[in-house]
């Protein structure tokens, strides 16, 4: 198989890839957890793409009464290898996205993709539109050129990644889609030069805190308990406490320490002269694998007890997401070695490391399935003016195909 010829064909598809990304990302797919309509129409776009190229696929539906269709879709494509095999090399991408955030911070409409200077701007173009399009064109290349490695090659396009994967990847795992001897590439993180291969992730905890005091007129604060003020002090002290209690470093990760960041702040009262009786906030925690989430919980409970006693409030919390970090993918795992070889042959020196963000790879590693997270991106996910570089669509597709070719 002449890789040069294959790569030339991929390069010649650059305009088609760019057009596909813009067309797909013009279809709103904000996760319903963030007030959006979900990915249903975007998934229908993917099925039409596959049908147009005669690529067989399977749709797995998961019920969800928050969306008008009452269901979320997940699409699987599996190409058979050259010999009977129970091993599949998966490429996994998600189709949902977060909301645009502050529209005033955007230089263009986030839901109308804009091609400018070799970049496509719009919400979801990098996260995870680039991965979806590169995976589709890698799949198309394998099918049209009759490339059959010794293992099967699978492509999964899934829902709900941005809000915990209950209606997407977790459902696929529960249905036994992924087998013990499978391997996977998850193109959901990376570096601008394509050198970074992620093999480890931190534990993740999104914790929503509720502080309950007593509402009163703001001019008569002695008649109430100001939940907003107490919540502000508690949240700031908790952040400082966790950062000082768990300061350890691990240079495998970037950043090389655990992070504890205050994020969402919920509305409390509708009037400026009302003393809030309840205040709600969220903390995003990304914890080095050496620490258990239970250790963090002990510190939360200890400080909560102090504040409840001192300020006569009630503090409760719930986990919006909780993922304990699994063991890293070994550096000598076949998928890591093959991906590194593919990069090396393209003049890119690979480097392995870990991240704080959560991807499907963590769930696969929990199953004992080696997974490598890789793509060529500037890491502008969730930012205003998010973009995907058109040349990276080509680069990633070539690397996916080159990695498949190593399975012989």
Tens of pLDDT, residues 68-100: 999 999 999 999 999 888 899 999 999 999 999
Residue 358 predicted with pLDDT over 90? no
Phi-psi region of 2 (alpha: psi -120 to 50; beta: other; left: phi over 0): beta
- 86 token code pair: 């129970």
Query: Are the C-beta atoms of 43 and 168 separated by less than 8 Å?
Result: no
Quote the CA–CA distance of 13 and 401 in Å, as a whole number. Answer: 14
CA distances from 303 to 58, 240, 260 (A): 50, 11, 15
Torsion angle of C-alpha atoms 363, 364, 368, 374, degrees rounded to 10: -120
Per-residue pLDDT band at 391 (split at 50, 70, 90): very high
CA distances from 228 to 3, 222, 302, 332, 354 (A): 62, 15, 20, 51, 37
Quote the CA–CA distance of 67 and 89 in Å, as a whole number. Answer: 32
88-94/183-186 β-pairing: parallel
pLDDT digits (tens, 9 = 90+) for 327-351: 899 999 999 999 999 999 999 999 9
Please report the pLDDT score of residue 34 as a whole number. Answer: 95
Please report the pLDDT score of residue 83 as a whole number. Answer: 82
- Among 134-138, 227-231, 352-356, the minimum mean pLDDT is found in 352-356
pTM of the model: 0.84
- 254 token code pair: 């970037």
Residue partners of 52: CB distance under 8 A and separation at least 6: none
- 45 token code pair: 């776009």
3-state helix, strand, coil in the chain (%, to 5): 35, 25, 40
Residue 127 DSSP symbol: I
**From 96, 127, 182, 198, the catalytic residue:** 96
Residue 111 predicted with pLDDT over 80? yes
Q: Kindly state the percentage of the chain with pLDDT values over 90.
A: 95
Query: Are the C-beta atoms of 205 and 296 separated by less than 8 Å?
Result: yes
Spatial CA neighbour of 397 closest among 8, 25, 2? 8
Residue 307 predicted with pLDDT over 90? yes
116 DSSP β-pair partners:
119
Query: Are the C-beta atoms of 94 and 38 separated by less than 8 Å?
Result: no
Mean pLDDT (the chain, rounded): 96
Please report the pLDDT score of residue 357 as a whole number. Answer: 78
Q: Kindly state the percentage of the chain with pLDDT values over 70.
A: 100
351-355/196-201 β-pairing: parallel
Quote the CA–CA distance of 3 and 370 in Å, as a whole number. Answer: 26
Please report the pLDDT score of residue 2 as a whole number. Answer: 87
Hunting for tokens 């249905």 — which residue is that?
A: 175
Number of Cβ within a 10 Å radius of residue 71: 16
pLDDT digits (tens, 9 = 90+) for 158-193: 999 999 899 999 999 999 999 999 999 999 999 999
Quote the CA–CA distance of 195 and 172 in Å, as a whole number. Answer: 30
Residue partners of 37: CB distance under 8 A and separation at least 6: 28, 29, 30, 67, 68
Give all domains of the chain, ordered by start, each with its CATH number: 3-200+326-405 (3.40.630.10), 203-323 (3.30.70.360)
Residue 245 predicted with pLDDT over 90? yes
**From 126, 127, 161, 188, the catalytic residue:** 161
User: Known catalytic residue: 161?
Assistant: yes
Quote the CA–CA distance of 334 and 395 in Å, as a whole number. Answer: 21
Per-residue pLDDT band at 58 (split at 50, 70, 90): very high
pLDDT digits (tens, 9 = 90+) for 13-54: 999 999 999 999 999 999 999 999 999 999 999 999 999 999
User: Known catalytic residue: 51?
Assistant: no
58-63/71-79 β-pairing: antiparallel
Hunting for tokens 């998966």 — which residue is that?
A: 90
CA angle 80, 83, 84 (to 5 degrees): 75
Please report the pLDDT score of residue 1 as a whole number. Answer: 66
Please report the pLDDT score of residue 408 as a whole number. Answer: 81
* Angle (deg, nearest 10), helices 334-345 and 390-405: 120
């Amino acid at each position: 198989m002449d890789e040069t010829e294959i790569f030339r064909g991929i390069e010649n598809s650059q305009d088609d890839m760019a057009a596909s990304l813009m067309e797909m990302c013009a279809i709103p797919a904000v996760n319903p957890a963030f007030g959006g309509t979900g990915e249903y129409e975007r998934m229908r776009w993917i099925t039409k793409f596959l049908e147009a190229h005669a690529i067989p696929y399977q749709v797995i539906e998961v019920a969800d009464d928050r969306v008008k269709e009452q269901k979320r879709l997940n699409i699987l494509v599996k190409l058979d290898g050259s010999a009977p095999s129970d091993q599949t090399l998966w490429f996994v991408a998600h189709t949902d996205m977060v909301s645009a955030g502050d529209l005033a911070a955007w230089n263009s409409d986030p839901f109308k993709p804009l091609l400018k200077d070799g970049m496509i701007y719009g919400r979801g173009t990098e996260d995870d539109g680039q991965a979806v399009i590169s995976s589709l064109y890698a799949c198309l290349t394998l099918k049209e050129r009759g490339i059959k490695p010794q293992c099967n090659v699978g492509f999964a396009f899934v829902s709900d990644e941005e809000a915990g994967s209950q209606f997407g990847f977790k459902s696929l795992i529960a249905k036994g889609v992924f087998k013990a001897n499978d391997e996977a590439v998850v193109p959901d993180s990376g570096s601008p030069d394509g050198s970074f291969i992620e093999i480890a992730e931190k534990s993740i905890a999104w914790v929503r805190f509720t502080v309950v005091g007593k509402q009163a007129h703001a001019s008569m604060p002695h008649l109430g308990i100001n939940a907003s003020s107490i919540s502000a002090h508690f949240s700031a002290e908790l952040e400082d406490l966790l950062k000082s209690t768990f300061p350890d470093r691990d240079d495998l990760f970037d950043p090389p320490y655990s992070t504890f960041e205050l994020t969402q702040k919920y509305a409390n009262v509708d009037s400026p002269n009302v003393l809030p009786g309840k205040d709600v906030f969220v903390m995003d925690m990304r914890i080095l694998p050496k620490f258990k989430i239970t250790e963090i919980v002990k510190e939360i409970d200890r400080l909560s007890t102090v504040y409840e006693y001192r300020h006569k409030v009630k503090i409760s919390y719930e986990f919006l997401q909780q993922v304990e970090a699994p063991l890293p993918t070994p550096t000598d795992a076949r998928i890591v070695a093959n991906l590194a070889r593919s990069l090396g042959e393209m003049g890119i020196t690979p480097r392995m490391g870990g991240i704080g963000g959560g991807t499907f790879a963590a769930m696969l590693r929990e199953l004992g399935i080696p997974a490598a997270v890789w793509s060529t991106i500037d890491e502008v996910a969730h930012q205003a003016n998010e973009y995907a570089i058109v040349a990276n669509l080509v680069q990633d597709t070539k690397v996916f195909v080159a990695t498949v070719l190593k399975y012989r």
